[in-house]
Structure 1
Amino acid sequence: MMNTLAVNQLSTFRWDFETDAQAYADHGFGGIGLFRPKVEDFGIDRSVELLADLDLSVTSLSWAGGFTGSDGRGFNDAVRDAMSAVTDAANLRADTLIVLAGGRNNHIRRHARRTLCEALAKVSIIAEEFGVRIALEPFHPGCGHEWSFVNDLESTLQIIDMVGSPNLGIVLDTYHVGMDDDVLRWLPHACPHVHLLQLGDGRHSPLGEMNRCLLGEGCVPIESIVHTLLDHGYQGPIEAEVIGEDVEPLEYEMVLDHTRGFLDQLTQSKVH
């Protein structure tokens, strides 16, 4: 099996960096999806050292972006922040830096898209110099309109096409795009551009806050999505993100156990 199995630090939000890393390694995961505030608290050099000791590869660094000003920052500030995230990603040897477009913020869609493409073009140049891949993550409009005006694979592919940078790709999070009836039809087109496959499940379409459930207990066709991507040659990491009030009361150890079991089953059924 080529794909590194990983967990995103948002899944164990209340733990600190060290506890996350140790627990993921103990549960036999090969990778970790890093959350920038946790890395900043722990320190980049210490993070690099600890992850090397535990033999954990960094499957992603979250997030940069918000170029439309929806989070209160100006365009230049958001671009500068994304550039500093690129250097962090390079130092952490992260597979991919995840980028969020930002909400529409009262712009007309065309203007928002032009702003995003301009930002991605600038950040891509720096990312190429540092050998860092960046990946745009579409967000379900039901829970992410303030995070991203890019909501599906089709519009993400259009933006990648417009920017035209070889190291810009897609984060495909099954929670955000997996409930779209068209998703399986778009996967073959998207697959060559997928830098990171994130697994998330939900009991119903996102509404308001993100509310994921344990993998395999919701209505997202995770197995079909994963198997389609693997059939089309996806060899990148598979990273679980389990977060929301459905899982809030559960012990993190239990969440990690369940996630590990689900991923093992999913990937074993794929070995011919």
Structure 2
Amino acid sequence: MRFALPFLACLSVAAALPAGAQERSFNFALRGGLGVAPEYPGSSSYHATPDLGFTFGALEWGGRKIGAGIGNAPKTGFGLTGSFRYLGERDASDHPELAGLEDIDAAVELGFGVVYREVNWQVFGKVRRGFGGHEGVTGDIGADVIFRPDERWTITAGPRFSLGNDRFADTYFGVDTRTPTFAAYEAEGGLLGAGVEIEATYRLDEAWALEGAVAYEHLLNDAADSPITQAGSEDQWTMRLGVSRAFNWRF
């Protein structure tokens, strides 16, 4: 009984609060599927990889709302978004040209972005911190034109510029000591690639959607000059196809 009274008191207070004060929700979407990507950054060979993604929809708290919500046409002005990227492991035993280089575990990059949207175009910047295979900082700057042929389809297309700090660049493009294949090379961060991406989303209903994208990137600066890339390719293609599910978490 002594525990029931405080609990009932809390319920009474919550019920007495204005409706706006109790309205708190987080709208987001999770994506899962398959993709095709270079076997490691700078590689000329490709492999299948999991496609995992997170999309920020909206956050509502205390009568204030950020974001238009998953599946809705974005409102004009500035907004926030999440940023996520998965990089597979690099195992030297699977690639004879990498003999003598250290293996790199799979990495997950988590971060956020700032976007300015109008109805038919957007510009954005994202920053992420790596966990696992690398602990560097990476980012993307891009812009898109937005096409909406009907209420279900959304197609975006535009340029992309990839950046990374010294720690990230040296992890994937550096060579610590001379190997049978490569001379020692210290890679520095900065602008590491430029390219273009086309993405399409088809909404099945309010919760479910199909998403696909094709992206091309040309490695630049220390990423392009790396002996690892010189043995592989400066041209990097990625493709993905997945299913996303929207969630509305009330708290």
Q: TM-score, normalised by structure 1?
A: 0.26
Q: Which has the larger Rg?
A: 2
More helix per residue: 1
Structure with bigger strand share is 2
TM-score w.r.t. the length of structure 2 is 0.27
